[in-house]
Homo-oligomer: A and B are copies of this chain.
Amino acid sequence: MALIVQKYGGTSVGSPERIQAVAERVKRWREQGHDLVVVVSAMSGETNRLIALARALSHDPDPRELDQMVATGEQVTIALLAIALQEAGVPARSYTGAQVAVLTDSAYGKARIEAIDDERMRADLAAGKVVVVAGFQGIDAEGNTTTLGRGGSDTTGVALAAALKADECQIYTDVDGVYTTDPRVVPQARRLQRITFEEMLEMASLGSKVLQIRSVEFAGKYNVPLRVLSSFQEGGEGTLITLDAEDSMEKPVISGIAFNRDEAKVTVRGVPDTPGIAYRILGPVGEANIEIDMIVQNVGADGLTDFTFTVNRADYRKVLTVLERIAGEIGAREVSGDDKIAKVSLVGVGMRSHAGVAAKMFETLARESINIQMISTSEIKISVVVQEKYMELAVRALHSAFDLDAAVE
């Protein structure tokens, strides 16, 4: 018997029929002898409906009042799920963020959880009840309603699991787990049975959209085993995200391949290779509110150097304008760019103990005649920038080269 926190998103509770399906699923878990706390989001579409009402009254509605209003979305769902559970013969009780209580700071719209009172939940669980909690919301020290911002319901699930020291936090989504890479690009992609928090964070930050980064960080911090499962498919095991890698001897070096085509590359050529030059280039870019991802500075020759970095593709024109403006000041020879690039990244904690991952990656790409434009590495990740048109080819070649297709679950 385990204590399990389950989280269902807006699509999973988007209609009375779907709420009934969630109730049936919760019932089956409970019949296996588990204690259950269920976190739900607002019914899909509801939050947008509410925000539209507020925007009809103000272009810039007060964040406190917006939270007061938007929090009703989850409050409706928890009551409906509790009703559906009771109808299915399962004793259940719903709680808002305030009732639990999920205590947060007062940063409306992006509040951070500070503490959770588990007393009522424990009493209900001890009495054999399923506890249904509104995701995404909390209450500040003054009793104001707050919301946690994007992906907030995942965070609520993880926070409750941490507070209750639950055995597992299950996040139900529209996919049945975390894959080695996007199956739309590589049909041989396979679902991972396990992945570490670190790897999941890298995958998420590199564009894999299964979970919000914040909830993964939170789960890692409190060591809450996180499982991603499909809410539309019965019986799957999903992917378990934990602190430690699999104990298996055959643990693959690489867990997954992430990629995205959201970035653009800009290069400032022939700048004097003097201390502070990076700041003189990137300072004005930051001031223009442009975020920078990868940065590469080549070793200079003749006292000159080339400086390349990537930005979000939406900022491409803007960053070129900034650089052309400062090119003269910093004595750069040329500013150029390319917004037809893609980033492909290998992720895996196995990399730490296996040399030669980078070499094998570069060799694989070379064999396919794919030119590498930029390289960036971290302890458990290697990212390369290639021409956008080679992205799929690069991902498939690497997926095969690192034995990801071949692996048997």
A57, B99: Cβ atoms closer than 8 Å: no
Q: Is A106 an interface residue (CB 8 A)?
A: no
If A86-B62, A87-B58, A99-B143 touch, whether A53 touches B80 (CB-CB below 8 Å) is: yes
Point out the residue from B68, B83, B96 that lies within 8 Å of A54, measured CB to CB: B83
Q: Is A78 an interface residue (CB 8 A)?
A: yes
Q: Is A84 an interface residue (CB 8 A)?
A: yes
> Nearest chain B CB to A14's CB is how many angstroms away?
12
A residues 65-106 near B (Cβ < 8 Å) are 65-66, 68-69, 71-72, 75-76, 78-80, 82-84, 86-87, 93-94, 96, 98-99
A65, B53: Cβ atoms closer than 8 Å: no
Cα-based distance from A96 to B143 in the complex (angstroms): 10
If A72-B75, A72-B76, A76-B53 touch, whether A83 touches B98 (CB-CB below 8 Å) is: no
Residues of chain B contacted by A58 (CB below 8 angstroms): 83-84, 86-87
> Nearest chain B CB to A139's CB is how many angstroms away?
9
A residues 1-56 near B (Cβ < 8 Å) are 16, 19-20, 50, 53-54, 56
Residues of chain B contacted by A69 (CB below 8 angstroms): 75-76, 79-80
Q: Is A183 an interface residue (CB 8 A)?
A: no
Copies per assembly: 2
For chain A, the count of residues having a C-beta within 8 Å of the partner chain is 36
Cα-based distance from A54 to B87 in the complex (angstroms): 11
Residues of chain B contacted by A50 (CB below 8 angstroms): 76
Q: Is A331 an interface residue (CB 8 A)?
A: no
Cα-based distance from A71 to B78 in the complex (angstroms): 13
- Closest partner residue, chain B, to A72 (CB atom): B72
Cα-based distance from A143 to B121 in the complex (angstroms): 13
Cα-based distance from A352 to B56 in the complex (angstroms): 54
Q: Is A61 an interface residue (CB 8 A)?
A: yes
B76, A62: Cβ atoms closer than 8 Å: no
A54, B79: Cβ atoms closer than 8 Å: yes
B87, A78: Cβ atoms closer than 8 Å: no
Cα-based distance from A43 to B58 in the complex (angstroms): 18
Point out the residue from B16, B56, B84, B87 that lies within 8 Å of A16, measured CB to CB: B56
> Nearest chain B CB to A395's CB is how many angstroms away?
44
- Closest partner residue, chain B, to A87 (CB atom): B58
A54, B72: Cβ atoms closer than 8 Å: no
A residues 113-167 near B (Cβ < 8 Å) are 143-145
Cα-based distance from A50 to B43 in the complex (angstroms): 12
Sorted nearest first, the 3 A-B pairs with minimum C-beta distance are: A69-B79, A72-B72, A16-B56
- Between-chain CB contacts (< 8 Å), 26 pairs: A16-B53, A16-B57, A54-B79, A54-B83, A57-B83, A57-B84, A58-B83, A58-B87, A62-B82, A62-B86, A65-B79, A65-B80, A65-B94, A66-B79, A68-B78, A68-B94, A68-B96, A69-B76, A69-B80, A71-B75, A72-B72, A96-B145, A98-B98, A99-B143, A99-B144, A99-B145
